[in-house]
Structure 1
């Protein structure tokens, strides 16, 4: 038995909950505003969610609890959101179980960076394109209730850069070293004056990785600037550039995972598989305030991705050009608050595959051979949206939202001629997606209810048959979400609780069935039911005048199942949804001293995950504990210093940080389900700041 693996979710939950209740009796009232993330941050951070739309936020105080390369652990603090990380470049974000069946990557949600859409034309998002040290906050709208942000079944993730500090010019450099030859540096310059703000940061990161064929090397920069053209008008420019090369160890079968999790999959190791990416996001945005009751923000943007990936089965060479415009109006009219606007996104995706002759390359890895395919796809999404929020009384509000989506795919086969050519067009019918919400405020908290309709488009693979032909029968997933939740304070405002209950039925379930090493087909296979409870609890108490302790717990209960799912001769109806743990906990203890010292102890429990639709195999549950000690000091009026050391996986357990569902073995090989998490590892960093 693995160390600490015997601890089960319910026992931890009960213990920590009563611990919070006991310690909360000692909380000082003047400490309340110092609480961070998710609950109270709502009162001190500008949010993007419109009107009374429920949302969750984590900010820089949460990011500082973890290694600066560990964006997944930060996001996993949010109940209902789970990031499965196969590697630094292989992350799959699921929200309330939506997206759990996606083989690789993140889809079925919308992602925005400073209000600019960064989800591509088929719904794929890559959070690894953004440096955690450049982010100021991450806001999550769970489920399709975010009318202004796409109404995808998974919801929306809104990434924002750090706020400019008024009338300051500052140079900051953070430098981190760690296990696996890890080195990370982030150099940033910020300048702010009355009508002009500028921030520029350069980041470099490299590591050999825990496993074979697991190195990662990244460089990037971020430019964010805005200028006040007048009292009513502001113009801004955002440019994010990332260039990285990451080796791919891929997943392991059960035997290799048990014997030596540092191994890479044999075929990926022989091919020395990797991916090389160049990613550019450029956006120009303008805000105009017509009067105190009406404001418009319009952005035009361009994205570019150049991706090259030698795999054992072939070599993929692709690039994507994306461009679009988003315009949103916000206003007030008496007791009504309204938002309306539109978003047009188009991209051109060009990809081809080549033979990989690594077996004939004398052990030197991948070697590009003859072309196997040459394709282009032109993808277009158009969203119109509007919300109307009415404050009926000082305590009671109602909100109505509508989103209209129209999606088109145009696929062009540039390789085959005549009857073998598979070019085709796929137009999805326009779909209208409503949302209705209620909110009631009471002394010390609020209650809310929401019902909303959402959808998910099929991915590129799901739109094609095994022969590469557009599948005319594939349909969009649709679902209706019902949610009840609230936020409240207990024990004379000393314990803070945030909770939600939800129920969502999804029809026309999209299933990507693997029929070859690099071949998936999609089909609509039935219906799933997503039900669950999400709970956040946090408190603060004083050990002495200069020392405060902040305990917190985030708990997710997922009761997700197939309602109707028949696959050939197999009927999986009633089985738990593949790829989703039933219980998940993120908890911790932050200890802060007025002298500048801070200790962060964090814990994550993940229950077993069903790996096959038949529920014949599951991953093991696990507990992972991390610790970080930091110190910050103002050395003079101009110089500041920060020091930190940390350790991850303190008890050195073996666990799967990500899994692949319904894995298939080819050529007599065992199916590979598991992506091992890192063993015990350490890091330390220095942060220097100079205020001009």
Structure 2
């Protein structure tokens, strides 16, 4: 690993030594005096902006993520979400992996590849960018892609005070208070947010407090510094999944054992980052971030109580610029990222059955473990521009290491074990051709991977399995983006195909225990389509309709589980089709009305394809009115209805569920029935 990393730095040094100060492309590379956290890919990326987020209730971002073609979020609760991209991550049971996520440029994907994205306040976000597939080499080359979350900046030259209060069904209460100031050299943004709800189901209360501070200062034309801290404290009860009988008779029920244990999770999460940017010349700059995060997680479950602590730290450094000695326009990014965390976890007996119906009670220690996890990424990409043609090449090098210590089983000879994965080189090639300024064709070929987490590498005896390795795949995609009618109409069509080898399968061996293994191959094929139009009905009235669609054909190519051959079956947990659409009607007098529609096609619930979940539709409405009371003071009133048709549906499916002791398997997380919300936002600029 060290030799490869030194070779990378040496090569980069030779490259940047040829960069001169008289670069005429500075506007292409440096853009402005802002910190840039976007992907800057030459292919169109899926970007979700503030106006998209504001079409929904300001409680979570899963609904707006579902609008993105190729993306689907299974949402069991505010604290139970599974993000899938082109089918990647569909076999993960309780969380999100297969992607690499960043929050204002700070890595937030753990050392074992897991990402909690729904804990961030949607009212603080200015943009969400989703890069599908492993083509963004500077943001890792995970098979699912990358997720970039960027927060809002205060209005320039103004001091801003804003408060947004939202109330709704099932005891929903959310209050967000923001204060900020920004001038030419300095900005500060402070946000305090509280969210609580009683939940639709038994044992589903949720209570979250967040404090966010973002400060930046520009010392001169060449040096800037930025500091961010985000503190979260939330307690969420867990109703878990339910069986078919409970789902049909009364979907408000919690799983019986989780209700009896009054299961919940309590989390305290701190994320900090310090970013320094230096401009060496008009054609070269460096942005370096050092970060630290801490997670304190306590979760009483029916089968045991989990108590865990995670300390994470690292750095990310990126050089950006162009090479002026070349006879064509160009840009490059190159750098490295280290993410390291120490994960300490223990389990205890849960004596809830002996606690007089008072819920969970901690008993004797069952296990005591510590994991050390390190992830190195070195990366570079280079883009060349030739009139109408642009070519982008990229490379990513990853080196991952797990170290495991078992402090409970002192007599176990394997209680101290390491897994040092071989380094992986992942290249990418992208080509874009602009027929005109409004019509472009693009294509990409890229290689990606997904590592197993440490628990998947362990056998039931706690011994690391040296045979299990990462999933790998090659992604192919081709698409076109077009604008019509003076750019009022925008369309995007993308075809993709990805073969995944060494498929990681989580095999359930007990109620709370899974082991991993590489079990075969999958084929991911699909078509993604989006269309958006701005229709100016009059000088004061505009209509903005949109429609997104995903058509999936994803299958097991070679997959045998014990004596069962599932080759040729549909990939478990992937909807066949996804449609999203709606419109925003906006009047200059401050009145607006929006509607959103989601269709989720049928999906296989088990590998045998013997059980499918039927398609369903969800329609949401929202309206609002903004009134300017004084010159610098405005009020906005909002109201909305979610699931207008009162559709009964499961918003998440636990695939391959197994019933223990003769019980029915618990596949279903019920979605919310019709529910309402309303709010008032006060904003003052001075």
Q: TM-score, normalised by structure 2?
A: 0.93
Q: Distance in 2 between matches of 1:356 and 1:140?
A: 40
Of residues 539, 542, 562, the one that matches 2:536 is 542
Contact 2:153 2:189 in 1 (8 A): no
Counterparts of residues 97-176 of structure 1 (less than 5 Å): 97-176=87-166
Q: Distance in 1 between matches of 2:233 and 2:413?
A: 37
Report how far residue 70 of structure 1 moved.
3.0
Count residues in correspondence: 648
Contact 2:37 2:105 in 1 (8 A): no
Report how far residue 557 of structure 1 moved.
0.8
Matched with 2:356 is 362
Report how far residue 495 of structure 1 moved.
2.6
Report how far residue 257 of structure 1 moved.
0.4
Matched with 2:418 is 425
Report how far residue 51 of structure 1 moved.
4.0
What's the CA shift string for 1:642-665, capped at 9, x where partnerless? 110000000111001000000011
Q: Out of 147-156 and 440-449, give the one that drifted further.
A: 440-449
Contact 2:557 2:568 in 1 (8 A): yes
Q: Secondary structure of the equivalent of 1:129? A: coil
Q: Distance in 2 between matches of 1:50 and 1:545?
A: 35
Task: State whether structure 2 residue 601 is matched by structure 1 residue 595.
Answer: no
Q: Distance in 2 between matches of 1:311 and 1:456?
A: 28
Q: Distance in 2 between matches of 1:178 and 1:470?
A: 48
Considering only aligned residues, what root-mean-square deviation do their CA atoms show, in Å? 1.3
Q: Distance in 1 between matches of 2:119 and 2:294?
A: 12
Q: Distance in 2 between matches of 1:348 and 1:287?
A: 28
What's the CA shift string for 1:265-315, capped at 9, x where partnerless? 000000000000000000000011111111110000001100000000000
What's the CA shift string for 1:475-530, capped at 9, x where partnerless? 01100000101110245644310111100000000001111111000000000000
Contact 1:51 1:337 in 2 (8 A): no
Task: State whether structure 2 residue 56 is matched by structure 1 residue 66.
Answer: yes
What's the CA shift string for 1:418-463, capped at 9, x where partnerless? 2365321000000100000101112222111100000001023211
Task: State whether structure 2 residue 187 is matched by structure 1 residue 187.
Answer: no
Of residues 460, 463, 476, the one that matches 1:466 is 460
Of residues 628, 650, 653, the one that matches 1:656 is 650
Q: Distance in 1 between matches of 2:61 and 2:408?
A: 40
Q: Distance in 2 between matches of 1:434 and 1:342?
A: 15
Report how far residue 609 of structure 1 moved.
1.2
Report how far residue 632 of structure 1 moved.
1.4
Task: State whether structure 2 residue 422 is matched by structure 1 residue 413.
Answer: no
Task: State whether structure 2 residue 523 is matched by structure 1 residue 533.
Answer: no
Q: Distance in 2 between matches of 1:500 and 1:550?
A: 22
Task: State whether structure 2 residue 203 is matched by structure 1 residue 213.
Answer: yes
Q: Distance in 2 between matches of 1:492 and 1:194?
A: 34
Contact 2:37 2:104 in 1 (8 A): no
Matched with 1:570 is 564
What's the CA shift string for 1:653-687, capped at 9, x where partnerless? 10010000000111211000010000100000000
Gap runs ≥5 in structure 1: 1-44
Q: Which has the higher contact order (CA 8 A, sep 6+)?
A: 1
Matched with 1:250 is 240
Contact 1:512 1:521 in 2 (8 A): yes
Counterparts of residues 634-653 of structure 1 (less than 5 Å): 634-653=628-647
Matched with 1:231 is 221
Contact 1:456 1:478 in 2 (8 A): yes
Q: Distance in 2 between matches of 1:385 and 1:494?
A: 37
Q: Distance in 1 between matches of 2:513 and 2:413?
A: 18
Q: Secondary structure of the equivalent of 1:69? A: coil
Task: State whether structure 2 residue 443 is matched by structure 1 residue 487.
Answer: no
Gap runs ≥5 in structure 2: 1-34
